[in-house]
């Protein structure tokens, strides 16, 4: 029988069709979770105005979070002339101070990247590949620089090299030495003028922050050091997993949008509107009261129109799950029982938010720590940290100032403060549970 015989041809066709069907089945099976997700999304009718609005806000908010400078180049480039320093910085130095490079923005770049060539830094800035820092070019020259939210609240997955990879929006950049970066600027006179000190003092304060820290309250109350002489700068928190959480920042300044408006105007020096009469209290916020920072207005307002989508995007960012094999599941299960029961953690860290559904702040004495940072905030309290994705920001330690280097040290603290009488094995179970979140 030759292939030309009709029976043989039918057989060949049937076999080919079966193979194709099997291949499609394999692809679908391998893709099963995503397939199911798509079907769920497909259940939203295309004419559902709310769903389309949510999708549009997500995309707009992501654009703002990653790429918007809010006009802050007038400050970082115009006033501090930070771009003059960045033009001479090698990519190696940029990575060493914790700046991250978006590998997706490198597409089409040919040849190896020379990490010792400042011209490469300029090319990275031109491509908006340096996360959180936007270069403005005139002709071929770097003429100014502005900053973006992603600077402190994004990292990368290091898939190309340490510090170079895909964006991870919302992750706290605990490598970033904000103080060292600002100190690169040829002048810090605008900070000196605001704080009423000399430039050398400003530079000493910036140098004292160290990686993963920033002091948003410095330009409000002028306090740079704690009574024990250590820096008053706090750790950069993640900006993921915030949906459902009432008050934000370590000390509960307000909702996400309150803080977004404060940061965009008062910290990033974007050009918008920020109103908060609590900052008129000259005894507590002398710098802010003098400069009337709680009554910031700029025309045109380049921040307020961005707030709704920026808020929606942040609430959409999920906390990352723990890497496979990073914790002991049986111990974590025992730890969960302790967390929600005898160890009393769940009285404040209510699952699955892991903060209070309600007014989520506490007096310093309730958690057994000093009042310094709480006293720098309007409500004089500490906010119950939402605990999901803790593993992703272990660098720099835990609590607002990183006073506990490990989760074990956090558990030891609560054991002593709350008089829990946990055994070493129970403490380890709690740690494994915290790692599993
Ligand atoms: C220079 C670094 C830096 C930049 C830039 C920055 N942040 Fe932050 N962010 C911080 C630090 C530090 C805190 C903690 C402040 C505190 O508690 O005193 C914080 C806190 C937050 C929080 C509260 C998180 C929580 O757990 O409640 C949110 C939300 C946030 N930032 C969003 C943003 C957005 C949106 C932008 C851009 C408009 C931005 N940040 C820009 C450093 C930064
Ligand atoms: C009285 C309320 C309360 C109780 C009870 C409590 N916590 Fe906390 N927790 C807080 C507050 C408030 C903070 C923020 C402290 C700060 O910012 O310095 C916090 C912070 C933390 C952090 C650090 C989070 C970070 O991002 O650095 C961990 C981990 C933690 N708690 C775990 C626990 C465990 C485990 C227990 C039980 C043994 C527990 N907590 C009991 C209120 C509480």
Question: pLDDT means per 10 residues in the chain (437 residues)?
Answer: 52 49 44 50 73 94 98 98 96 97 89 89 94 95 97 97 97 98 97 97 98 98 97 98 98 98 98 98 98 97 98 98 97 98 98 98 98 98 98 98 98 98 98 98
Q: Which ranges in the chain are annotated with CATH 1.10.760.10?
A: 329-436
Give distance in angstroms: CA of 345 to centre of ligand 2: 7
β strands within 91-242, DSSP E: 101-102, 133-138, 141-147, 154-156, 164-165, 167-169, 213-214, 234-235
pLDDT at residue 205, rounded to an integer: 98
Instruction: Quote the pLDDT of residue 300.
Output: 97
Report the pLDDT value the prediction gives residue 28, as an integer from 0 to 100.
40
Indicate which atom in ligand 2 lies nearest the CA of residue 369: 18
Angle at 431 between CA 427 and CA 434, to 5 degrees: 140
CB of 256 shorter than 6 A to ligand 1: yes
Provide the token pair at 437. 């979140």
- At residue 23, the pLDDT reads 46
pLDDT of residue 111: 77
- Find the residues whose C-beta lies inside 6 A of ligand 2: 250, 343-345, 347-349, 362, 366-367, 382-385, 387, 390, 398-400, 407, 410-411, 414, 430, 434
Selection from 317, 334, 355, 368 nearest residue 153 by Cα: 317
So what's the pLDDT on residue 42? 62
Domain range 329-436, its CATH number among 3.30.450.20, 3.30.1330.60, 1.10.760.10, 3.40.50.1970? 1.10.760.10
Q: Residue 7's pLDDT is what?
A: 58
Question: Among candidates 131, 132, 144, which has minimal Cα distance to 82?
Answer: 144
Q: Is 219 in the pocket of ligand 1 (CB under 6 A)?
A: no
Atom of ligand 1 nearest to the CA of 270: 38
Q: Residue 361's pLDDT is what?
A: 98
Instruction: Say which ligand is closest to the CA of 406.
Output: 2
The ligand whose atoms approach the alpha carbon of 369 most closely is 2
Distance 358 CA to ligand 1 centre (A): 21
Q: What is the pLDDT of residue 10?
A: 57
Residue nearest to atom 3 of ligand 2 (CA): 348
* CA–CA separation, 58 and 1 (whole Å): 62
What six digits make up the tokens of 187? Answer: 């002048």
| CB of residue 149 inside a 6 A radius of ligand 1 | yes
Q: Do residues 270 and 72 make contact, with C-beta atoms less than 8 angstroms apart?
A: yes
Indicate if ligand 1 lies below 6 Å from the C-beta of 309.
Answer: no
In this prediction, residue 27 carries a pLDDT of 41
Exposed, middle or buried by CB within 10 Å (0-12, 13-18, 19+), for 217? buried
**Ligand 1 mean position, distance from CA 352 (Å):** 23
């Amino acid at each position: 029988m030759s292939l030309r015989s009709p029976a043989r041809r039918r057989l060949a066709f049937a076999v080919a069709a079966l193979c194709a069907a099997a291949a499609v089945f394999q692809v679908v099976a391998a893709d099963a979770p995503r397939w199911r997700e798509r079907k769920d999304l497909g259940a939203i009718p295309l004419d559902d105005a709310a769903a389309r609005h949510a999708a549009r806000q997500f995309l707009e908010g992501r654009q703002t979070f990653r790429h918007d400078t809010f006009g802050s180049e007038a400050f970082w480039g115009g006033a501090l002339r930070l771009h003059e320093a960045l033009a001479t910085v090698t990519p190696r130095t940029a990575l060493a101070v914790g700046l991250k490079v978006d590998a997706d923005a490198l597409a089409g770049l040919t040849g190896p990247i020379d990490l010792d060539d400042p011209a490469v830094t300029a090319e990275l800035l031109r491509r908006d590949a340096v996360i959180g820092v936007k270069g403005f070019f005139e002709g071929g020259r770097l003429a100014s620089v502005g900053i973006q939210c992603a600077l402190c609240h994004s990292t990368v997955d290091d898939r190309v090299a340490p510090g170079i990879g895909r964006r991870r929006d919302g992750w706290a950049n605990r490598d970033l030495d904000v103080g060292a970066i600002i100190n690169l600027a040829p002048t810090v006179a605008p900070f000196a003028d605001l704080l009423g000190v000399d430039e050398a003092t400003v530079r000493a304060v910036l140098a004292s922050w160290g990686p993963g820290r920033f002091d948003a309250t410095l330009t409000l109350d002028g306090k740079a050091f704690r009574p024990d002489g250590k820096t008053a700068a706090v750790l950069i928190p993640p900006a993921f997993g915030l949906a459902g959480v009432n008050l934000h920042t370590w000390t509960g300044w307000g909702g996400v949008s309150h803080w977004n408006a404060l940061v965009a105007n008062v910290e990033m020096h974007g050009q918008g509107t920020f109103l908060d009469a609590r900052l008129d209290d000259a005894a507590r916020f002398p710098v802010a009261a003098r400069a009337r920072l709680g009554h910031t207005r700029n025309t045109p307002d380049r921040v307020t129109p961005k707030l709704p989508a920026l808020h929606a995007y942040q609430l959409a960012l999920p906390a990352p799950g723990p890497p496979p094999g990073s914790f002991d599941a049986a111990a974590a299960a025992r730890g969960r029982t302790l967390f929600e029961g005898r160890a009393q953690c769940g009285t404040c860290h209510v699952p699955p938010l892991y903060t209070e559904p309600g007014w989520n702040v506490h007096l310093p004495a309730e958690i057994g720590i000093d009042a310094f940072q709480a006293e720098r905030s309007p409500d004089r309290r500490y906010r119950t940290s939402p605990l999901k994705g803790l593993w992703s920001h272990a660098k720099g330690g835990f609590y607002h100032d990183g006073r506990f280097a490990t989760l074990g040290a956090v558990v030891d603290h609560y054991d002593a403060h709350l008089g829990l009488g946990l055994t070493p094995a129970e403490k380890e179970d709690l740690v494994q549970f915290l790692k599993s979140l």
